[in-house]
Structure 1
Amino acid sequence: MTIAVFGSLNADLNLTVARHPQPGETLLGGGGRVSAGGKGANQALAAALTGHHVMMIGQVGKDANAQVVVEFLQKAGVDLSFVRQVDTPTGLAVVTVEQEGENFIIVVPGANGTMNSGEIEWINPALHQADVLVMQAEIPQDCILEAAKR
């Protein structure tokens, strides 16, 4: 079975804090680790762990954050033939986790947000090869709807 995942690819900046800051407050934190993320990339990883052929469809920038995501998915065996590089920075999520486990996440869509439904013909070959298409809501809704129609 071939699974296509059409969605977001982000670099996650992971921070730990004793507690979340109040408005206007500066706190010291820990972590500062950058890892692969994005709902699409996470789903592609999970699907690859089932042993099926998985194709990721999405966009990253031409920046160092793209390498974090691409290398992670390559190591997991995800087919990245349909991940293209664009001139907008790779999507970024800043994730703060406080000691009780509560998290705050801020997502900057970056390359994920620059897709538009009038220009997604590049995904057609992947859609035709796939037995299953997985999507989520971290890319523009018009792209999700167009991919579902195709």
Structure 2
Amino acid sequence: MPLLAALLLSTGPIQEPGPSRGPDVRHSTLAQSVPARPIRRGAVSGETVRRIFSQVYPNWTPTCDAAGVAGHRIAFDLTLDGDGRIVAGPTLVRPQDGAGWRAAAETARQALLRSTPFDVPPGFSGGEYRPTFRTDRVCAHDEAPQPDEP
């Protein structure tokens, strides 16, 4: 597995998140999260999914030198349509209370939104996904992050 891999993905069924409580900060995406559970992928290969979500890393700019940012894994549940747009989510999975984690999670969420629509292959039909983004990989300045091996 490459040292600077870009993301990890889980597979299996997903439970829909609860209703939105509005746009105020107390009820942001950080507050609307669901417990971790496997998620069902769309009808594409794991490599295709890795390529899609690796498009987030160039847009993710956490403050890597800030206290509490290093070493976090940040997962989101989301649904993509056939054009690579997010049509549900992103909803955080297993949020943490630490300020460093919350800051990294918010910058990851913003990067996901800035990355859409994703560049998807012809015939992509969309689906439900749970991409996991790692701060150690985005903060490694040696080289650009690469996708994990399957």
Do they fold alike, i.e. is TM over 0.5? no
TM-score w.r.t. length of structure 2: 0.25
- Which structure is larger by alpha-carbon Rg, 1 or 2? 1
Report which of the two has the higher share of helix. Answer: 1
Report which of the two has the higher share of strand. Answer: 1
Which protein has greater RCO, CA pairs closer than 8 Å, 6+ apart?
Answer: 2
